[in-house]
Structure 1
Amino acid sequence: MRGWQLAAAALLGVASVAAFAPLAWFPLLWLTLGGCYWLLNRVRTAGAGALLGGAFGLGFFGAGVSWVYVSLSVFGGMPMAAAAGATLAFCAYLALFPALAGALFVRFAPGPRLARALFFAALWALSEWLRGVLFTGFPWLAIAYSQTPPSPLAGFAPLAGVVGVGLLSALLAALLMELLSGLLPRGAAIRAGQRRVLSGFPLLPLLAVALLLAGGASLRTINWTAAQGAPFSVALLQGNVAQDVKWRPETFAESLSTYHRLALDHPARLTVLPETALPVFYERAPRDYLEELARLAAREDGDLVFGIVTGDGERYANTALSLGVSPAQRYAKSHLVPFGEFTPPGFSWFMHALDIPMSDFTPGEAKQAPLAIAGQQVAINICYEDLFGSEIIRALPQATLLVNLSNVAWFGDSLAPAQHLQIAQMRALETGRMMLRATNTGMTAIVGVDGHVQAVLPPFTRDALTGEVQGYSGTTPYVRWGDVPALLLAVLLLGLGALRRRSGHY
């Protein structure tokens, strides 16, 4: 293996980030990942495959999650060199998963081109699934997220979820590369004056590509869920409180005043404030202020949800509470962020280097009932939790609406807020439910049941996003079966590939 191959793999990884939000050039992913597949087909050892996959991953994550450095250095208080080293180490860890896929592909891939493409897609999907579950999981930048609308592959999300769409995205990338590789000799033969049809013409890859694109586009026309009840008004409040002053006592009154004013000026049946919008323990929050929020919600015979920390200082939870005409209810975040909300065993030394307030939360129950508010059954998820589709569906089909409370001010003016909104689009597609997002600094948005962003506030502005939304009932195949069918398909493809490694085409 030559140096240019490693450099090419790393550059392809970097370029792949443009397939995701905010640029969202979704077809680019098919070409860049296809390029990685092409490179892997030109090495002969598992070690070389691991190096190529790792180089792709290092470029991909180094560019795509560079915002981790912002949280560690700018807001976490870590020295710049240490923050850069920690970010690089984190990206190197994430790169191990494409490295594993690359090594196994080169070592075990079957000979026929269609079989190789299927084998590659299965390996890539399983490596991403593993990344999403190991050590509590980090599925950010799973390739399926690049295929939200208008990508035709978004049509497969209600059936197979992010794992299935990732498998099909990798398959399409490999098939396109097989198609391009097969066409090149044909062009050379024509220039040489040969008129015969080459036996190697990639008819099967061409047919498979057409079926994937047409099938996904057709599935986009299916309504998997149905509207339930009448539309109702919502107000999603974006306070734009800078992270470096959010928890300072001298800014406490200003934070409360900001959200009171936004709620006062934008009456709605359902009002949603961001994660930890009130920077104080609930037990110490001014009672008259909470009563005033409840009164504002009652104007529209509605309810208000806000983020706050509950607990006694020793054990505390990242919580969403409701106030208004419905009985008060709560949701406690269950999937906590490593190093941000809890300290993994053996890493207390690392947390001592950071200046992150309240970084040892107690998780809530894994399965919590939706909040019965504003005439809906609302499934709350807090910030990072919406990365885990298999956990979101625990509240379904009972839930009629998804609501996310976030604070991504930790990552500044980076790619993170736009990428996070794209993740919310995938959750809406998988569940057949609208997703409402109330964030501190962006991106506060209303996502339709079809995965399209219906409205969004500009980041780093103080405003309220208002609109009419709709509850939905019903069950998509993904809600019913979760990731199981996609995982079984991936394992089956690996098994078939192993069995046919030395056999003919199929």
Structure 2
Amino acid sequence: MRPVKASTAAAVALAAGLLQTASFAPTDAWWAQLAALALLFGLVDRATPRVAALCGALFGWSWMASGLWWLHISMHQFGGIPWLVAALAVALLATVLSGYFALALGLAARWFAPGRWRLLALAPAWLLAELARATWFSGFPWIASGYAHTVGPLAGWAPWVGIYGITGLAALVAAGLVLLKERAWALAAPALLLPLAGLLLPQDFTASSGRVAVSLVQPSIPQDQKFDPARFATNLDALARLIESAKGQVVITPESVVPLPLDELDSATLARLSRPERPALLGAFLGNADDGWVNSVVALGSNYHYGKRHLLPFGEMIPPGFAWFVHAMGIPMEDQARGDHQHPWDVAGQRLRPLICYEDLFGEDFVQSAVGPDAATVFVNVSNLAWFGTAMIQDQHLQFSQMRALEFQRPFVRSTNTGATAVVDHLGRITARLPALERGVLEASVDGRTGSTPYARWLSALGLWPLWALGLLTLMGLKRAAS
């Protein structure tokens, strides 16, 4: 078999990376993710180690750059960074993230000769690359491969193996497609049966804990007005009106909907926001200048609050050496403190577990809230995505909540500033959603759930280590078999 030319491999890898991005929400084209990875693996199977690493780098760069382009909006439109510098920053981030895939595929090509053993080795290598991206340097697993499978036959694996297990299974299916082309029927068949198995696996692990009526507030405040002191009074008045119109048993507002420390809110406004007959979670900042400000949600009328734990680099925490870049964007409260109080909020006969913004990407961080007698019955995500516009970002983030709902079989309710304010049931289905940029309140009845999935149980006990071990041991076993 003739090695693939570097120029041809580069062009196909770039195109396949774009196809990978197209597989995520809002298209939900799960099959495109398998096709994209099969294209990449087909290239790597015939490539030298150097070309294999190049393919991984270009595929990853194309995927990350096209899937994260909206970061440019926050830096240029709201941060005041020149558009070219902002574009270069996105390109640099894509380059760094693509390094995981370049390293994984390059090493797999070095350790395995072209043929069936290399193709099989690409699946655990891909899994390890995605695990590294999700956990190293605080982790940034945005649009990880498995998220394309919140729908489709592989979704049935979610309550058993979670997002990264699905990522590995999808890579194995992609390798199976290439093996099928190579007529290695005996090796291809088990891999290609994995989607069928996903359709047949038991799925009933939780039971209803009753229903709760929630009011999800979407104030739709433009980002350039959100932290403008001249707009505070107007924006807070509009927020109070939305809360006063709410009909649910519990009212939930977005992240930092009060864009200043809660102690600085005047008593009259606080009285309007606090309705004794209707508990509310209010997004605000707690803390002080000395100990640090904490991005929080506060249960008005009670002593419950939750502070964000997993902070966003460059937006909420400053990585060493990058203070100049963050300060240049003028992000309010850009160096925050980590919060506390991770237990659920007991209210209206349910236990609500808040998550702030992209914390819902890290199921391993809050899995303890999905097991045991005091486990949450409903997960709540509050976000402000107005920094990034509306194209792609909102649908991508909503898809992450869908995956968490599938993994833990818990409903997710989402209150956001500009979208996607939505309700996701315990089977990952979107049952209600407000249009983007529409000011209003989404009224919904949500079925809380008790019980734990197999994934929640083993993840709470062992973390992601079983998947790390599976990836490494599989590579070692394949290397021995190929020798």
The normalised TM-score by structure 2 is 0.94
The code of the aligned residue for 2:327 comes to H
Distance 2:237 2:192 in 1: 55
- Does the Cα contact within 8 Å between 1:316 and 1:361 map onto a contact in 2? yes
**Per-residue displacement from partner, 1:310-332 (whole Å, max 9, x unpaired)?**
122342100000124xx331000
Task: Tell me if 1:130 matches 2:110.
Answer: no
Counterpart Cα distance in 2 of 1:340 and 1:160: 31
Q: Distance in 2 between matches of 1:392 and 1:258?
A: 33
What corresponds to 1:21 in structure 2?
A: 25
Cα distance in 1 for residues equivalent to 2:457 and 2:377: 15
Give how far 1:111 is off. 6.4
Pair 1:71-2:74 in alignment: yes
Instruction: Please tell me whether the aligned partners of residues 126 and 171 of structure 2 are also in contact (alpha carbons under 8 angstroms).
Output: yes
State the match for 1:213 in structure 2: 195
- Please tell me whether residue 488 in structure 1 is matched to residue 450 in structure 2: no
The CA distance in 1 between the partners of 2:28 and 2:101, in whole Å, is: 22
SS in 1 for 2:474: helix
Task: Tell me the residue number matched to 1:190.
Answer: none
User: Could you tell me which amino acid in structure 1 is paired with residue 141 of structure 2?
Assistant: P
Query: What is the identity, as a one-letter code, of the residue corresponding to 1:172?
Result: V
CA deviation after TM superposition for structure 1 residue 112, in Å? 6.0
**Corresponding residue number in structure 1 for 2:64:** 61
Determine the C-alpha separation between the residues in 2 that align with 1:5 and 1:488: 31
Q: CA deviation at 1:141?
A: 1.1
* SS of aligned partner of 1:379: strand
CA distance in structure 2 between the aligned counterparts of 1:253 and 1:496, rounded to whole angstroms: 64
| Aligned-partner Cα distance in 2 for 1:493–1:142 | 21
Q: Deviations over 1:114-159 (max 9, x none)?
A: x44442111111101101111111000100000002x111111111
| 1:411 match | 388
Opposite residue 145 of structure 2, the aligned amino acid is: I
Write out aligned runs for 1:230-309 (5 A). Answer: 230-295=210-275, 298-299=276-277, 302-309=278-285
For 2:339, the equivalent position in structure 1 comes to 364
Instruction: Flag structure 1 segments of 5+ consecutive residues without an equivalent.
Output: 183-199
Cα shift readout 1:4-51 (whole Å, capped 9, x = no counterpart): 21111011101211100111211001011100000001112x222111
Task: Give the conservation status (yes or no) of the 8 Å contact 1:20–1:26.
Answer: yes
Q: Whole-Å Cα distance in 2 between the matches of residues 480 and 410 of structure 1?
A: 36
Partner of 2:83: 80
Q: Give 1:477's match in structure 2, choosing from 454, 472, 477.
A: 454
Q: Any idea what the Cα deviations from partners look like across 1:83-139, whole Å, max 9, x if unmatched?
A: 1111111110011011111102211236662x4444211111110110111111100
Q: Which runs of 5+ in 2 are unaligned?
A: none
Amino acid at match of 2:94: C
Offset from partner CA, 1:431-458 (integer Å, 9 cap, x none): 1111111000010010010011111111
Task: Give identity over the alignment, percent.
Answer: 37
CA displacement, residues 193-232 of structure 1 (integer Å, 9 cap, x when unaligned): xxxxxxx5x243134312x11111122x52111111x211
1:90-489 equivalent positions in 2, closer than 5 A: 90-109=93-112, 113=116, 115-149=117-151, 151-182=152-183, 202-210=185-193, 212-219=194-201, 222-228=203-209, 230-295=210-275, 298-299=276-277, 302-314=278-290, 315-324=292-301, 327-365=302-340, 368-397=342-371, 398-482=375-459, 483-489=464-470
SS of the residue corresponding to residue 500 of structure 1 reads helix
Q: Which moved more, 1:247-256 or 1:130-139?
A: 247-256
**Equivalent position amino acid for 1:241 in 2:** I
**What is the CA–CA distance in structure 2 between the aligned matches of 1:53 and 1:178, rounded to whole Å?**
19
What RMSD, in angstroms, separates the aligned Cα atoms of the two structures? Answer: 1.5
Conservation of the 8 A alpha-carbon contact between 1:118 and 1:493: no
* Aligned partners of 1:160 and 1:485 also within 8 Å: no
1:244 shift after superposition: 0.8
- 1:501 positional shift: 1.9
**Bigger shift: residues 341-350 or 30-39:** 341-350
| TM-fit CA distance, 1:168 | 0.4
Instruction: Verify the 8 A CA contact 2:6 2:51 in the aligned structure 1.
Output: no
Q: Distance in 2 between matches of 1:458 and 1:328?
A: 33
Measure the CA separation in 2 of the matches of 1:499 and 1:258.
66
Structure 1 residue ranges, 4+ long, deviating more than 6 angstroms after superposition: none
**SS in structure 2 at match of 1:336:** coil
Is 1:2 aligned to residue 2 of structure 2?
no
Q: 32, 36, 59: which is aligned to 1:32?
A: 36
Report the Cα distance in structure 1 between the residues aligned to 2:74 and 2:413, rounded to whole angstroms: 25
Q: Match of 2:227, SS?
A: coil
**1:112 and 1:496, CA in 2 relative to 1: closer, same or farther beyond 3 A?**
farther
> Who wins on radius of gyration, i.e. which is larger?
1
Residue by residue, what CA displacement relative to the aligned partner does 1:262-297 show, whole Å, maximum 9, x if unpaired? 2222211111000001112100112232233322xx
The one-letter code of the counterpart of 1:303 is: P
Return the alpha-carbon distance in structure 2 between the equivalents of residues 353 and 323 of structure 1. Answer: 35
After TM superposition, the score normalised by the length of structure 1 is 0.90
Q: Judge which range, 8-17 or 102-111, deviates more.
A: 102-111
